[in-house]
Chains A and B, each alone.
Chain A
Amino acid sequence: MTVTAGWYMALAASLFTIGAAGLLLRRNALVMFMSIELMLNSVNLTFVAAGRELGVLEGQLSVLFVMVVAAAEVTVGLAIIVAVFRNRATASVDELTGLRG
């Protein structure tokens, strides 16, 4: 019994689903943010597994680029969360109704 790429795909699908569910279920902006990170990482896993299956390096390079984008996203996103918290004193997205029409 060897580990095929399909196993990694199934695991990544599970992790992605858990991340998506977390994004929908939680109200804390920080935990929602972590869920997004989890989804990005599960996609990274599929990139690497597929790259190995096909014997190409592009999968790993995609992961590097995703990491850079994720790092930039984390920086700006956390800055926004801190800014919102300092103005509204809450990290719960239910309280943030400033853009409601």
Chain B
Amino acid sequence: MTAETVVFVIFALAALAGALTMVTARNPVYSAMGLLTTMFSIAVFFVLNDAHFVAAVHVLIYAGAVMTLFLFVIMLIGVDKAEDIRESIPFQRPMAVVLGAGLFVLVLVAGRASWVTGTRAVEEGGALGTIENVADELFGVWLLPFEATVLLLTIAAVGTIALAQFLDKPRELAAAREAEIAPGHEDEERAE
């Protein structure tokens, strides 16, 4: 048992426990915490695989930004504890479990069938994923895709602002329609 094995086992169990918590927890906040555990475990696996810079970015983006955003939204729209248990589609949940197990088997089989069996390449001079190496590759060979991601992020930001901006118009329309249907409703609003 090497040290890597011990670390792998510990954090693999943590990752699986976190993932299962995320799926099974009734409260979305617990789900977010489970996902956070999994994210940290995956960051540890990145470090084990010499991807130090990616691990740092992973913690910053996922634990720092994405999960905070998730928690903000959960708090914003309220913790919806009363999630529906009744089935809207018959046998959907049992089928989901069966299909999930089938997918697991298929992924494992596919992984066994096509996995490359070459020996590990000799690493020249320490870890592969240092900031220097990543930057050389990212800003050299992959510069154009990198610029494309800039465009993508800009579009996403503009789209989000647009979604928030134009949100009030349909609400006003709906309120006006409600007021037409029920004239008494308007008086109530004025009284408030």
Contacts and interface: CB of A to CB of B under 8 A. Distances in A.
Nearest to B48: A3
B77 interface: yes
A18 B42 CA distance: 15
Nearest to A58: B137
B115 A48 contact: no
A38 B19 contact: yes
B69 to A, nearest CB: 6
Contacts of B95: 24
Given A53-B116, A60-B53, A75-B156, A18 B23 contact: yes
Contact of B22 (A35, A58, A71): A35
Contact of A79 (B22, B129, B164): B164
A72 to B, nearest CB: 4
Contacts of B5: 1-3
A8 B49 contact: yes
A53 B50 CA distance: 11
Contacts of B65: 71
Contacts of A87: 167, 170-171, 174
A60 B51 CA distance: 7
A71 B97 contact: no
B57 interface: yes
Interface in A56-70: 56-61, 63-65, 67-70
A75 B45 CA distance: 26
A69 to B, nearest CB: 7
A26 B23 contact: yes
Contacts of B54: 48, 60, 63-64
Interface string A57-101: 111110111011111111110111111011100111010000000
B77 A91 contact: yes
Contacts of A31: 22-23, 28, 31
Nearest to A14: B16
A51 B123 CA distance: 12
A76 B111 contact: no
B49 A74 contact: no
Interface in A4-58: 5-11, 13-22, 24-28, 30-31, 33-35, 37-38, 41-42, 44-45, 48-49, 51-58
A94 B92 CA distance: 12
B182 interface: no
Contacts of B107: 13, 16-17
Nearest to B50: A52
A26 B25 CA distance: 10
Interface of A: 1-3, 5-11, 13-22, 24-28, 30-31, 33-35, 37-38, 41-42, 44-45, 48-49, 51-61, 63-65, 67-76, 78-83, 85-87, 90-92, 94
